[in-house]
Structure 1
Amino acid sequence: MIAIQVLEQSVVVFSKNYLPISKINVRRAIQLLIAGKAEALNLTQESWLVRSPSIVLVVPAYIRLTVASVERIWKIPPVNRREVLRRDNYTCQYCGSHKHLTLDHVIPVSRGGLHTWDNVVTACERCNQRKSDRTPIEASMPLHTQPKAPMHPTVAFAEQFWRAEPFPPEIGGTSKHNAETNIS
């Protein structure tokens, strides 16, 4: 593998409390390891041997921060057009269109529906007019996804990580072969 490609490989960073918080490249992982701000986690055999004129460093696929970071306070954003469109991936939740998007109350406000994360969805103008003052069931227009409030970005990353990441060999998973490179 070419040295530059190795430096751009992904390393998963765990918090001091073993919560997966992000992915960084090998270059940043080396900085954290050398500065003593992180330690290697031997969850898999996957690692990269990185050489420079003065040091040889084994960079694992997983590292854990050794410094306690102050958790940022994260508030659920307000229910507004920009945040709802972002949550729904700029897609009509009734037909899947990406054009002429508006907001729609699943249970109409005129029927007691509130302007909350679990009652507001993205809808194209056509679907919004077709649904009118009815519920999705009454209009025979099922939602593609159930609306919910967005979650903390770290929690979202951890959830995605545990779903997508292969399990380590110790618990029945497999890992890729080690890669080696020289950096001059």
Structure 2
Amino acid sequence: MTSAMQVLEQSVVVFSQNYLPLCRVNIKRAIVLLVSNKAEPLGFSTAGGWRVHSPSLVLDVPKHIRLTITSGERMWKVPPVNRREVLRRDHNSCQYCGSNKRLTLDHVIPRSQGGPHTWNNVVTACERCNSHKSNRTPFEAGMQLRTKPKAPVHPTVSFAEQFWINVQANLE
């Protein structure tokens, strides 16, 4: 049997009105959304979930809920290309060797060769790799990027992609 504390540590996936997975919320937040009629259980989530008892109410909380209210989608802008954001995107590690010591920013195509200061051209590099690469492209320096640089995506899009990858993996 599951203890009350274990149930309260669970999370519920929240979908938008048009069934886009938005985020995970803790079970307490899910209960508030359900009781206030701001969300409804999703039909495909009848299997699984939790039964929560209070002095005056017994509530079945499903693993997936759908918002019934229109959430004014907040505008999300791609963050500026700066040191903090590039380090966050690259998980504080050199994109050439994987080190997390003495990190700098590197332009994949050097600015002197016409490389722009954009998300697709700036990566995190340790001082050693940055000085070895110098004023050359990775190909010219005989180096290879661990990941292709790209702009960050909206957090909801990122969550939705990961959600559907997990759903597909569970079906296989």
**Normalising TM by the smaller chain, what interval?**
over 0.9
Runs of 4+ with deviation above 4 angstroms: none
Residue aligning to 2:41: 40
Q: Measure, in 2, the Cα distance between the counterparts of 1:59 and 1:124.
A: 48
For residue 10 of structure 1, report the CA deviation from its aligned partner: 1.1
Cα shift readout 1:27-46 (whole Å, capped 9, x = no counterpart)? 11111100000000132311
Residue aligning to 1:146: 148
Unaligned runs of 5+ in 2: none
- Report if aligned partners of 1:14, 1:22 keep a CA contact under 8 Å in 2: yes
The higher relative CO (CA closer than 8 Å, separation ≥ 6) is in 1
Residue aligning to 2:136: 134
Return the letter of the residue paired with 1:18: Y
Identity %: 65
Across the aligned residues of Structure 1 and Structure 2, the Cα RMSD in angstroms comes to 1.4
Which structure has the highest helix share of the two? 2
- Report if aligned partners of 1:51, 1:57 keep a CA contact under 8 Å in 2: yes
Return the letter of the residue paired with 1:47: G
For residue 166 of structure 1, report the CA deviation from its aligned partner: 5.5
Unaligned runs of 5+ in 1: 175-184
Q: Measure, in 1, the Cα distance between the counterparts of 2:44 and 2:93.
A: 38
Residue aligning to 1:24: 25
Q: How many residues align?
A: 170
Q: How does 1:1-184 map to 2 (within 5 A)?
A: 1-44=2-45, 45-165=47-167, 173=171
Q: Measure, in 1, the Cα distance between the counterparts of 2:169 and 2:151.
A: 29
Return the letter of the residue paired with 1:19: L
- Report if aligned partners of 1:42, 1:60 keep a CA contact under 8 Å in 2: no
